[in-house]
Amino acid sequence: MTLRRALTADTALLGITFVWGTTFIIVQNVLDKLTPMTFNAWRFLIAALFLAIWKLLFKKNSEKSRQHLVRLIGSGTLLGFFLFIGYACQTIGLLYTSASNAAFITGLSVVLVPILSALLLRKMPPAAAIAGILFAVVGLFFLTTRGQLSLNRGDLIVLICAAAFALHIVFTAKVTDQYNSLSLTIVQLTVVALLSLVFGFSTEGLRIADFQTLLEPDVAGVILFMALFATAFAFLLQTLLQKETPATHVGIIYIMEPVFAAWTSVLFQHVHLGTAELAGCGFILIGMLLAEWPDGRKSLSH
């Protein structure tokens, strides 16, 4: 793995994070009309179907054997399970905690990724990356909580979400070299869609109003955009690019999502960022730059 390829991968992952952060506002508007599980079910289902059709039309069957296919389905199912748990616990946790707490605790996945990488992948992050993590967490604290954090019972649920997202990043790094990236992405997105449908039906029931809402042009447009660009292409790119960059870097880059969300709110909702939020953005940016410091990437070159 060369430094140039790793930096290119990190830049593309930052682009994914930009899409997630800048679409936060439009997703919020849709969630005023649809339940989160219904939204996620359709978002991931459409994404999985799009990639499956793409594979059938343009890609040859790349699976080597039935045993290989079984292992691919098993790995994709595990990744999809982690993704579903992350989204589900984040949604449930928001019923019992504040959005600021949820944003901060979800972002703590950036701390869990290097710990899990060391335990599961036997890969210790360089000193610059560890420093970057510390700066990013401090920045996230100020950006999302304005320097004040009051813990409650919902925070433990959101902490499970952070652990699930961290496990997804680490296990993606573990298995991405073993399988076709497109096939692996299709499986995991399908699993998220099916689990969201089952969980949503068991907790919310079948709501006719949701089907009527799905036909509204603004809702349908948002779901299609999120399915294609923020889900299908985003997770396919993550699966591809984690062959080129360490899992620790992915965690730090993804912490930029609340930064992009905050500045989108400034531009389109005229939200004012105070000193704490601006300082938080600065710390996160410093953390990301530290993680990209070349001296910390010597082990990537050969």
pLDDT score at 294: 59
Q: How far apart are CA 282 and CA 279, in angstroms?
A: 5
Give the percent of the chain with pLDDT over 90.
34
Mean pLDDT calculated for residue range 264-281: 83
Identify the residue with better confidence: 144 or 47.
47
pTM assigned to the model? 0.86
Q: How far apart are CA 214 and CA 207, in angstroms?
A: 11
Helices (H), the chain: 3-22, 24-31, 36-58, 66-93, 99-107, 109-116, 127-145, 154-175, 181-204, 208-214, 217-227, 234-241, 247-254, 257-269, 275-291
pLDDT score at 298: 44
Return all residues near 36 (Cβ < 8 A) that are at least 6 apart: 87, 91
Q: Where are the beta strands (DSSP E) in 86-150?
A: none
pLDDT score at 301: 40
Contact at 8 Å (CB) between 234 and 44? Answer: no
pLDDT at position 11 over 70: yes
**Single-letter code of the amino acid located at 31:** L
Coil, strand or helix at 179:
coil
Distance of CA 138 to the CA centre of its chain: 20
pLDDT at position 248 over 60: yes
The two structure tokens encoding residue 234: 């985003």
pLDDT score at 95: 79
What are 151-166's pLDDT values in tens digits?
777 888 989 999 999 9
Coil, strand or helix at 40:
helix
Coil, strand or helix at 257:
helix
What are 32-86's pLDDT values in tens digits?
888 888 889 999 999 999 999 999 988 766 556 788 889 999 999 999 999 999 9
What are 169-202's pLDDT values in tens digits?
999 999 998 999 999 999 999 999 999 999 988 8
* Site of tokens 């923020």: 230
**Nearest-10 Cα torsion for 104, 109, 112, 118:** -150
